[in-house]
Amino acid sequence: MTSDSTVSETLQVKRASERAAYDREAVNAVVDECFIGHVGTIREGLPLVIPMFCVRDGERLLMHGAPATGTVRRGEGTDVCVTMTILDGLVLARSAFHHSMNYRSTVVIGKAFEVSEEADKNRALEMFVGRLLPGRQAYLRPTSQKEIRGTQVLELSLEQSSAKVRTGPPIDEEEDYALDIWAGVVPIRSDFGEAIPDSRLTESTKLPAHVESLISAD
C-alpha cells in the first residue's frame, strides 16, 4: 500500500503528490461516506489515536465523544489530526513492489473545540443520529437535558484539510506487462446486513422504514 503521505504545517503533500486532491469537494466526499475518524492528539508528550464517530456539518467536522476523556482542553482548543480512510480495493500488480490499494482518505488538522452552546449542541447531537438514520431522531423518545450534558461534542474546522485518492489498475514496470501474471483489482465493499431486533421489543413494535431503507439502499 502506498501510505506515504505526510502533512506539513501548510498541508502540502510532499510525496505521491499526483494523488493529492486539495479541493474541498474531495474532502467532503470522504467525510460524508466514512463516519469513523481516527483522531490523533498528544497526551503526556506521546501521540494517541482514538476512533471517533464524525459527521460533517458544512465547514466543520463534528466529533462525538464522552466527557472526561481528557482529549480536549476547554477554551484554547487542542491540536488534533483527524484521518479518515475508505478502502476501495486491493491492487494486484505483476511485482510485489507495485502492489497497492485503492483508497480515499482525508487528513484534517487544526484545533478542536468543545461544542458547548446548548442549541448548537442539541443540533449537533441530532446530526449524529440523522447522519446514519435520517428520520430516526423524531421517532425516538426526546433526549433529556441530563443526557445532553452527558455527551461531549467536539468541532474542528475543515479549513486545513486534504484528500488523497488512488483509483484504477496497477501500474507495472513496462517490461512486466508481458509476463503471464494475473494483475488487476479486487474491490472491497462494505454494506449493512439484516437488522437484528432487540430481544426486549414490545410485541407490537415493527421495523421502521428508516431502518429498512438503510439496509435496502445498500
> Contacting its own copies (CB under 8 A), which of 57, 151, 157, 165?
151
> Binding segment for its own copies among 20-28, 113-121, 198-206 (CB under 8 A)?
198-206
Residues touching its own copies, count (CB under 8 A): 110
| Closest distance of CB 108 from its own copies, Å | 10
User: Taking CB under 8 A as the rule, does residue 9 contact its own copies?
Assistant: yes
User: Taking CB under 8 A as the rule, does residue 42 contact its own copies?
Assistant: yes
Residues 6+ apart with CB under 8 A from 106: 26, 27, 30, 31, 83, 84, 161, 162, 163, 164
User: Taking CB under 8 A as the rule, does residue 160 contact its own copies?
Assistant: no
> Binding segment for its own copies among 9-17, 23-31, 113-121 (CB under 8 A)?
9-17
User: Taking CB under 8 A as the rule, does residue 159 contact its own copies?
Assistant: no
User: Taking CB under 8 A as the rule, does residue 127 contact its own copies?
Assistant: no
> Rounded to an integer, what distance in angstroms lies between the CA atom of residue 150 and that of residue 46?
28
The closest alpha carbon to 9, from 158, 82, 110, 154, belongs to 110
Cell (9 digits) for 111: 484545533
173-192: contacts with its own copies (CB under 8 A): 176-192
One-letter amino acid identity for 127? M
> Contacting its own copies (CB under 8 A), which of 12, 73, 207, 213?
207
Indicate the residue among 28 and 160 with the shorter CB distance to its own copies: 160
> Contacting its own copies (CB under 8 A), which of 76, 144, 216, 217?
144
| Closest distance of CB 120 from its own copies, Å | 16
Beta carbons of 113 and 202 less than 8 angstroms apart = no
| Closest distance of CB 55 from its own copies, Å | 11
How many CB atoms neighbour CB 207 within 10 A? 11
> Rounded to an integer, what distance in angstroms lies between the CA atom of residue 61 and that of residue 52?
11
> Rounded to an integer, what distance in angstroms lies between the CA atom of residue 83 and that of residue 39?
7
Q: Classify burial at 62, counting beta carbons within 10 Å of its beta carbon; exposed 0-12, middle 13-18, buried 19 or more.
A: buried
Q: Running DSSP on this structure, what letter comes out for residue 19?
A: G
User: Taking CB under 8 A as the rule, does residue 29 contact its own copies?
Assistant: no
Indicate the residue among 60 and 170 with the shorter CB distance to its own copies: 170
